[in-house]
Structure formats: C-alpha cells, structure tokens
Amino acid sequence: MRLFKVKLLLEGRYIFMYEMKQEYKIGIEQIDEQHKKLFELADRAYVLLKDEFAIDKYDKIVEILDELKDYTIFHFKSEEEYMESIGYKRLFTQKIEHAKFIESLENVDYKHIDVDQDESLVKILNFLNDWLTEHILKTDKLIGQ
C-alpha cells in the first residue's frame, strides 16, 4: 500500500493520499488514463474513511461503489478490446482476472454497509489495493511489453 500513498501535511497533520506513480504506468496512454481513475476512487474511499466528522457515510459509500462498478465494467471492456486489437496472447488470463473483480463487486451486500460503514470502506480499499498492486503491476504491465 505504501507504494502509492504520499504523505501530505494538511492543517497541521499528515494525511495520506493515493497517487498513481510512474511505476504503475504500463505505457499505453488510454489504459494508464483509465487506471488513474482507480487511484482517484481509492483516494475518495480513503478520505471518507478518515473523515471523523461524517456521521453517516452510507450515501457516499454507495456512490463510490456504484461508480466503481460502472467504471470497472467500462474499463475492462476497453482494456480487453485493446488487447484483442493487438492480438494479445494473454487475453484469456486477463479475462479471468477481470471477471473475478466484477464478480466481487456484484456480490457486495449493500445491506451490510450500514452495519459497519468504515469496515465497508476498508473492504473497498482492500479490493482496490489488490487490483492496483496485483493486477496492474503484475498482469497489466505485461501488455505494454
């Protein structure tokens, strides 16, 4: 996680934020731009998790989740189309990993969010951490090679 978090001094205290560093770029502009959006979503989830003044985070969590779901479907389709266009050999592996990410998003129990809102945000962050560190760095990186 520390790989893509930077410390910022804000109002006298340090906060972390998610930032897409050079090492996450796979070298294909269209895909890199889309991955950037994931970091933005992770950052929003993180800021919300750390917001001690928000009493009810439910609506914002649902908003992030809905956006994440729509974006994920759009991004994977776009990434797969690109791989098809270049006759990419590892397309099948990619499709399997993508399907798993979509499946976990579809299985999110919205009723559970209200039981523990911060726990739900941690789950979203864990999901994104997996994606960012495992999938992008290990699987997507190969597309640009």
Q: Cα–Cα distance between 98 and 39 in angstroms, integer?
A: 17
Q: Measured from the CB of residue 120, what is the shortest distance to Fe ion in angstroms?
A: 25
- Name the segment binding Fe ion (CB under 5 A); options: 14-22, 35-43, 47-55, 79-87: 79-87
Considering the rule CB under 5 A, would residue 140 count as an interface residue with Fe ion? yes
Q: Measured from the CB of residue 105, what is the shortest distance to Fe ion in angstroms?
A: 14
Q: Measured from the CB of residue 81, what is the shortest distance to Fe ion in angstroms?
A: 12
Of 75 and 123, the one with the shorter C-beta distance to Fe ion is 75
Give the chain's largest Cα–Cα span.
Answer: 52
Q: Cα–Cα distance between 108 and 102 in angstroms, integer?
A: 10
For 131, the token pair is: 């994606």
Cβ-count burial of 99 within 10 angstroms (0-12 exposed, 13-18 middle, 19+ buried)?
exposed
Residue nearest to Fe ion (CB): 140
Q: Measured from the CB of residue 102, what is the shortest distance to Fe ion in angstroms?
A: 11
Q: For the chain, list the strands marked E by DSSP.
A: 5-10, 13-18
Considering the rule CB under 5 A, would residue 132 count as an interface residue with Fe ion? no
- What residues contact residue 12 under an 8 Å CB cut-off, 6+ apart? none
Considering the rule CB under 5 A, would residue 43 count as an interface residue with Fe ion? no
Binding site for Fe ion (CB under 5 A): 79, 94, 140
